Chain A
Amino acid sequence: MQRLNFLFWNTNRKPLIKEIANIAKHNSIDVILLAEHKLNDADLLLELNSESDKYEIPRPIFKNSKIKIVTKFSADLVIPVADEKHNRYTSFKIKINETEEILVFGVHLPDNRNNKSESINSYAGEVARAIKAIEEEKKLYKTIVVGDFNLNPYDKGMVDACSFHAIMDSEIVKKGLRVVSGKEYRYFYNPMWSLHGDIGNNVAGSYFYKNAELVNYHWNVFDQVLLGPSLIDNFDKNSLKFIDSDGVKTLLKKGALPNKKYSDHLPLMFTLNFS
């Protein structure tokens, strides 16, 4: 059994090289995706590889300046697939073994401070349709979409069939698609619904925001992973978590809220198993 551990973290432009390396080491992370990074590649690799030379940055073809990728796979096994001018997503294939490859999309949608929620939902639709077009073109549906969506799992841009069409029930998603008004819409599985709230979880979300508005969710789950139907059986549901410690120190402050000294977002981790 080959276990593949993924880490996504919006580092809020903080110099978190040490913390990333600690998380990678304590959780045996294989694939790292970072958003809002302000990290020097050489420094990051030096820290990640301080105990052994494992991590590599894929070839410089990747043109996304907002999402950085580091993996334990050699560069020839990480194949760039697509990028876009607005840097809202980057995509690549990973050749897991002789017979299997997966399609990975790193996503960072525009933020809530500068965009209305309607706009973010529209952007989500654009990115989701681009992703589905790439799946069709590559005939590869073993897809992971991971990143900072700046949307909660229940927001329109996540659930709308014309957008990600991502729902919380893996058995329904395994059926593959749903027909609405004669048109077929493929599903994504969104396991993140299970991480919103404090029952059974170490934290109630990945991003905390409280203001004086009457409607305020306090905890948000902006950092999410979605899985295509073909990858659900590979997904270790128990592995999914927001990380509250880098293995050396807590990433939380008093009140168990994200400590902004590190990042205002908590890192997200999950595992895929391959036989």
Chain B
Amino acid sequence: MTIKTENLWPDFSVEETVISPKTILEEQIQFLGKGTKNVLTANIRTETFENGEIKNIFQLVAPKLDGYKYTLFTLTQKDIRPFPCKFDGEKTFSIKNKETLIERLRVVFNSDETKEIIKILISQSMDNPKR
């Protein structure tokens, strides 16, 4: 087909595509598995609502404890645009961009409470090797 019109599309820069909060969380799940030798993992349960809201619920999972789950926090987007979003953990924070999200995750993952939960789950998992 002979092209008779000019390209009307803007310039798409794939590199500039905004990384979604879910992708960031999925990467952190990989790190958690590696760091705990797969004794612990995590999953993301996603809920979508008629008003366009998308909720990603981040749960720690202990496969050796019959898949016991602990919900650590929730990230809520108003619509398909990933940012700003709402972080709902011990407290609620507004997350403006990828950098703010990464900083918030660093704080949550390194909090004494999260470290204690992970320690308990690992220790209980090691006590239940047959499950």
- Tell me the A residues contacting B by CB distance below 8 Å: 59-61, 63, 79-86, 93, 129-130, 133-134, 137
Contact = CB atoms under 8 A, between A and B. Distances in A.
Contacts of B121: 61
Given A61-B68, A61-B121, A84-B70, 20 more contacts: A59-B124, A61-B120, A61-B124, A63-B120, A80-B68, A81-B66, A82-B68, A82-B69, A82-B71, A83-B69, A84-B71, A85-B70, A85-B89, A85-B90, A93-B66, A129-B47, A130-B57, A130-B71, A133-B45, A137-B67
A81 B69 CA distance: 6
A60 B65 CA distance: 12
B68 A60 contact: no
Q: Is the interface of A mostly helix, strand, loop or mixed?
A: mixed
A126 to B, nearest CB: 8
Contact of B65 (A61, A85, A86, A134): A61
A79 to B, nearest CB: 5
Nearest to A137: B67
Contacts of B90: 85
Interface of B: 45, 47, 57, 59, 65-73, 89-90, 117, 120-121, 124
Which 4 A/B pairs are nearest by Cβ-Cβ distance?
A: A84-B71, A82-B69, A61-B124, A80-B68
B128 to A, nearest CB: 9
B65 A80 contact: yes
B70 A83 contact: yes
B108 to A, nearest CB: 10
A137 B71 CA distance: 15
Contacts of A80: 65-66, 68
B67 to A, nearest CB: 8
Contacts of B67: 137
A1 to B, nearest CB: 28
B41 to A, nearest CB: 14
Contacts of B69: 81-83, 134
A86 B73 CA distance: 9
Contacts of A84: 70-71
B89 A81 contact: no
A86 to B, nearest CB: 8
Contact of B66 (A60, A63, A79, A85): A79
9 contacts: A59-B124, A60-B120, A63-B117, A82-B59, A82-B68, A83-B70, A85-B73, A86-B71, A137-B67
Contacts of A81: 66, 68-69
A38 to B, nearest CB: 20
A81 B68 CA distance: 5
Nearest to A79: B66
Which of B71, B89, B120, B124 is most buried by chain A, counting CB atoms within 10 A of its CB? B71
A252 to B, nearest CB: 38
Contacts of A93: 66
A238 B117 CA distance: 41
A268 B73 CA distance: 31
A29 B121 CA distance: 30
Contacts of A133: 45
Nearest to B90: A85
Nearest to B131: A79
A155 to B, nearest CB: 20
